Amino acid sequence: MSASALPATEPPAPATDPALLRRVLGHVPTSVCVVTATTPQGPVGVTVGSFTSVSLEPPLVVFYCGRQSASAEGIIRSGRFCVNVLAEDQQQVCAAFASQTADRFAVGDWEPADHAGPRLGGAAAWIECDVEDDFPAGDHTAVVGRVRCLSAAGRRREPLIFHRGRLARLDRARGIHVPTHSFAWWDI
């Protein structure tokens, strides 16, 4: 494709403008998860849109929370947590755990886990972890977890997605199955 055939884009701008950074990075779809933990004061949980795997060996994941988040502080102090990967019909659960309300667990159903935070009913998957490390990352705190136990819903549950400032669902009409062997470069 020639340079003249490229689609029009906005002119480059310094990455120091937070509004521009948020708008442009909003084009990267992210999963929506609720991270929960059990503390001596009771269960805590927070919605995160920045959760990903880090390593297969050892099995590590990471999520990021605002540095002032009391829930994140409780999760870190508890030493363990559960990542609840929200399903596409759990918008109300997402909103409850993203709010400042005191009783976030009043929405939806949940059950205590043996070794981590509460598991939220209806989630697409659950990943129970021990806190491996935490460190400042700009205006957020990165929390690295060592995966101890994980499972997915018995019936297929599609994930809730955050994209361009809004909750979204996967578009099955355009979904194309790509065999994993096509990603051989991933393991290099």
pLDDT tens by residue, 141-162: 999 999 999 999 988 888 898 8
Which one, of 68, 60, 84, lies nearest residue 143 by Cα?
60
Instruction: Check if the beta carbon of residue 121 is closer than 8 Å to that of residue 111.
Output: yes
What pLDDT was estimated at residue 82?
96
Where is 95: in which H helix or E strand? helix 91-98
> Exposure of 48 by Cβ count < 10 A (0-12 exposed, 13-18 middle, 19+ buried)?
buried
Q: Which residue has the higher pLDDT, 15 or 108?
A: 108
- Whether 94 maps to a domain, the answer reads yes
Q: What's the domain count of the chain?
A: 1
How far, CA to CA in Å, does 152 sit from each of 61, 86, 129, 160? 16, 11, 15, 14
CA distance 184 to 23: 32
What pLDDT was estimated at residue 152?
93
Task: Please tell me the pTM assigned to this model.
Answer: 0.81
What pLDDT was estimated at residue 180?
58
For residue 176, what pLDDT band results from cuts at 50, 70 and 90?
low
Instruction: Check if the beta carbon of residue 128 is closer than 8 Å to that of residue 148.
Output: yes
pLDDT averaged over the chain? 84
- Whether 35 maps to a domain, the answer reads yes
For residue 106, what pLDDT band results from cuts at 50, 70 and 90?
confident
- Whether 169 maps to a domain, the answer reads no
What pLDDT was estimated at residue 75?
94
Instruction: Check if the beta carbon of residue 64 is closer than 8 Å to that of residue 72.
Output: no
SS3 23: helix
Indicate if the pLDDT at residue 163 is higher than 80.
no
For residue 124, what pLDDT band results from cuts at 50, 70 and 90?
very high
pLDDT tens by residue, 16-67: 788 887 788 777 778 899 999 999 988 999 999 899 999 999 999 999 998 8
In degrees and rounded to multiples of 5, residue 84 shows phi and psi of -100, 110
- Structural domain range at position 118: 30-50+70-129+149-160
What pLDDT was estimated at residue 168?
80
Indicate if the pLDDT at residue 129 is higher than 90.
yes
- Whether 6 maps to a domain, the answer reads no
63 C-beta neighbours (distance < 10 Å), count: 25
How far, CA to CA in Å, does 174 sit from each of 23, 88, 125, 179? 24, 17, 23, 16
Q: Provide the CATH number for the domain around residue 154.
A: 2.30.110.10
- Whether 13 maps to a domain, the answer reads no
- Whether 117 maps to a domain, the answer reads yes
Q: Which residue has the higher pLDDT, 185 or 27?
A: 27
- Whether 185 maps to a domain, the answer reads no
- Whether 84 maps to a domain, the answer reads yes
